[in-house]
Amino acid sequence: MTGPVVAVLVPLAVLAALTGHTLVNATRWLRRPADRPAEVDEPVAVLLPLRDEAARVTPCLRALLAQRGVPEMRIVVLDDGSTDGTAEVVRAVVDGDPRVTLLAGVPPPPGWLGKPHACHQLAQRADPAATALVFVDADVVLAPDAVAAAVAELRAARVTLLSPYPRILVTTVGDRLVQPLLQWLWLTFLPLRAMERSARPSLAAAGGQFLVVDRAGYRAAGGHAAVRDRVLEDIELARAVKRAGGRIALADGSRLADCRMYDTWPQLRDGYTKSLWASFGHPGAAAAVVALLGLLYVAPPLLVGAALLVGAPTVATLAGTGYLLGVAGRVVSARATGGRWWPDALAHPVSVVVLGWLTIRSYHLRKRRRLSWRGRPVG
């Protein structure tokens, strides 16, 4: 075999292995809570932190009030210093429902970021009898059986923390390019079965939009106080649970919840920018990951064109196969998590390029101390 052919075969073999891993994760190891769960017979506290969410909290609250199969459910809502009338919207929607308590949050003290502090206040004020805590974000709309199904899966899996990842709603071009990468990344690169069984904190993933945790295990892990200064408080909480001897699990929550994370491209851009640096840690690690993703998923379609121009049809065929393997991984991920796959998966190389740019932007703005979110500095 010629040198160029061998050079293409190596990344092609890696791509085939990664796409196979995506398929195994999606079809064998990804947990799927029951559509029609039995009634939950334990007290459950649903905790909703809000900061300037007047425009979109109504569907979330109405869905929480419509939950069934959880007779001992109580809802605690925290207005975290909103200036847009969020508390008034909550009162109007709740209309005196005795299951709901509305709290006025206090500003985070030194050393705390806003989201962990809001969740900490909520957990502190949850019904003392509640044995399970369910954290929900304002951009999440739950199906009627979502809380019951999530708590039932938490107990069936015998884990301390369960993250049922919602179906991410996409409408804009930016959404369609970036948002599906969330599920694709952990289905492709994270060994889900090993994550559940291993005690290693580094093998952890979670999504804070919809998070279910055993209260005793949450306390043993130190709760949100243990992740008070972490931008990715959801993943860090999962790691804290593991360090305390607990177990964690991911689940497909696409039938339980919908989530519209961002309304505009600037919101999406800034949302990812504030946290991507924390996903990778050291800039060298980020550079290595971005380079590897570029080699595996961006280079193949470029190589197809270059090979055809210089008359190397074998190299072009192999590179085209690599591109199709990358697309196949996106298709598997999307179909497993309720996402849109056609024709979006065809643009997977472009998605990887955008992710790389957002990562560079994240490190650049952090170095200049210009990262912020909802009016508060982060990073």
Could you report the per-residue pLDDT of 232-271, keeping only the tens digit for each? 999 999 999 999 999 999 999 999 999 999 989 999 999 9
Max CA pair span of the chain: 75
Query: What per-residue confidence (pLDDT) applies to 369?
Result: 82
Length of the chain (residues): 379
For the chain, which residues score pLDDT lower than 70?
A: 1-2, 379
Query: What per-residue confidence (pLDDT) applies to 281?
Result: 82
Which fold is adopted by the domain 31-166+209-263? Answer: Spore Coat Polysaccharide Biosynthesis Protein SpsA; Chain A (3.90.550)
Query: What per-residue confidence (pLDDT) applies to 151?
Result: 98
Query: What per-residue confidence (pLDDT) applies to 100?
Result: 97
Q: Domain residues of the chain, as ranges?
A: 3-26+273-377, 31-166+209-263
Query: What per-residue confidence (pLDDT) applies to 36?
Result: 86
- Does residue 102 contact residue 90 with C-beta atoms inside 8 Å? yes
3-class secondary-structure state, position 78: strand
pTM score, whole prediction: 0.94
Query: What per-residue confidence (pLDDT) applies to 137?
Result: 97
- Does residue 85 contact residue 54 with C-beta atoms inside 8 Å? yes
Query: What per-residue confidence (pLDDT) applies to 368?
Result: 87
Query: What per-residue confidence (pLDDT) applies to 379?
Result: 63
Query: What per-residue confidence (pLDDT) applies to 28?
Result: 94
Residue with tokens 């190389």: 349
Q: At what angle do helices 348-367 and 180-189 cross, to 10 degrees?
A: 100
pLDDT in tens, 101-110: 999 999 999 9
The rounded distance, in Å, linking the Cα atoms of 231 and 109 is 16
* Bridge partners (DSSP) listed for residue 142: 257
Query: What per-residue confidence (pLDDT) applies to 8?
Result: 85
**Integer Rg of the chain from CA:** 22
